[in-house]
Amino acid sequence: MSDKKIIFSGIQPSGSLTLGNYLGALKNFVNLQEEYNCYYCVVDMHAITVPKEPKELRKNTLQVLANYIAVGLDPDKSTLFIQSHVPAHAELAWILNCFTYFGELGRMTQFKDKSKKNEGNITVGLFDYPVLMVADILLYQADLVPVGEDQRQHLEITRDIAQRFNNRFSPTFTVPEPYIPKVGAKIMSLQDPTIKMSKSDTNENSFILLSDSPDDIRRKFKRAVTDSLGVVAINEEQLGIKNLLGIYTKITGEKIEDIVSRYEGKGYAEFKSDVADLVIEELKPIREKSEYLLKNKDYLEEIYAKGAQKAENAARKTLRKVQKKVGFIPKTFKIQQ
Ligand code: AQP
């Protein structure tokens, strides 16, 4: 058995992935796979918490898996799988629902934001989303969860529920720590730098997709909302520029002050065009490899089938422990299929 620490993270196939998903989460996944035992999941069950076309969901699920491999996740090192293939996620989520309070879910900002966007269509699934996420993480006894800053609150509730269960019974779950990058932890919308860049935003100029062509990327950065000051600087009054600087530093690894001084006396047009070029270069190999992988469905199936088997083995172990603790009679027989 490996004594490496365990990492779990997932991304919803609720659309094509954005530069926010990439810089906030995906890019870190790759750095971690050498040192940790990593489970990276395509969380399709989360994606149906808001209305979704089945055909689109199938397409996006494979696309996210292809993106995982294209950014450099190695299926021999990390466990790559699709959430709905491992039923223990739904089973544990039900049990944990019974250890979660209505009030604490009502305080989740993602629920508040998403229910505003889906007024008249707010499902129990959307409300319960964080508990499914708690189950995802706890099933694998994860020590660390690499996510963007926007998911910090969901990590806190995960820790609360794990501790509540451990205190009520006996130590059962590892209490996970968030692993959130310091810089570029939250990439904002290019059209409104006060809200995060989101793949489900209805304004397509607000996000950069991993699948966008170089022309699309250039056009979207050209239109990115800035301000009338005309000086590349880092402060809370120039949120659009601050966001672009965050993207720049996250890609090049340069210090923000060094970038700012390079653009002294230069206008926004040159700065925006340079940011666009950096993003185009960074995303080009990912786009090309993803396109190639998506033409090889058999290969993708091989990866997700192998991943599901490994994930299932780990998840069942935790689930059995939990079922026993709450008082369910152990299932010693097999149901004929
Ligand atoms: N704008 C962002 N900046 C930094 N990190 C981000 N993440 C998402 N948006 C940003 C990180 O990406 C991971 C996967 O997120 P998800 O797809 O499971 O859910 P999400 O956070 O709700 O992402 P979206 O793009 O906003 O999806 P929709 O529009 O469907 O709700 C997470 O680690 C998240 O932190």
Tell me whether residue 114 is one of the annotated catalytic residues.
yes
Spacing, Cα 198 to ligand 1 middle (Å): 6
Single-letter amino acid, residue 50: V
**In testing the pocket of ligand 1, which one of 198, 239, 242, 249 has its CB within 8 Å of the most ligand atoms?**
198
Report the Cα 94 to chain-centroid distance in Å.
22
Cβ 247 vs Cβ 274: under 8 Å: no
pLDDT per position as a tens digit, 237-272: 999 999 999 999 999 999 999 999 999 989 899 999
Q: Edge-to-edge strand order for the sheet containing 177-179? A: 79-82, 37-42, 6-11, 144-146, 177-179
pLDDT per position as a tens digit, 5-25: 999 999 999 888 999 999 988
Question: By three-state DSSP, how is residue 230 classified?
Answer: coil
**Alpha-carbon gap, residue 240 to 238, rounded angstroms:** 6
**In testing the pocket of ligand 1, which one of 151, 179, 182, 189 has its CB within 8 Å of the most ligand atoms?**
151
pLDDT per position as a tens digit, 100-123: 999 999 999 999 988 888 788 899
Binding-site residues, ligand 1, Cβ < 6 A: 11-12, 14, 18, 20-21, 24-25, 147-148, 150-151, 186-187, 196-200
The first and second tokens of residue 275, run together, are: 């940011």
Going from the N-terminus, what domains does the chain have, and what CATH number goes with each?
6-184+297-326 (3.40.50.620), 204-292 (1.10.240.10)
Instruction: State the number of CA atoms in the 13 A half-sphere of 60 facing the CB.
Output: 24
Single-letter amino acid, residue 227: D
**pLDDT level of residue 1 (50, 70, 90 thresholds):** low
pLDDT per position as a tens digit, 162-196: 999 999 999 999 999 999 876 557 899 999 999 99
**Alpha-carbon gap, residue 172 to 192, rounded angstroms:** 43
Cβ 82 vs Cβ 97: under 8 Å: no
Q: What number of other Cβ atoms are within 10 A of residue 279's Cβ?
A: 24
Whole-model pTM: value is: 0.93
pLDDT recorded at residue 113: 86
Spacing, Cα 148 to ligand 1 middle (Å): 7
Element holding 39 (H helix, E strand): strand 37-42
Atom 34, ligand 1: residue with shortest CA distance: 148
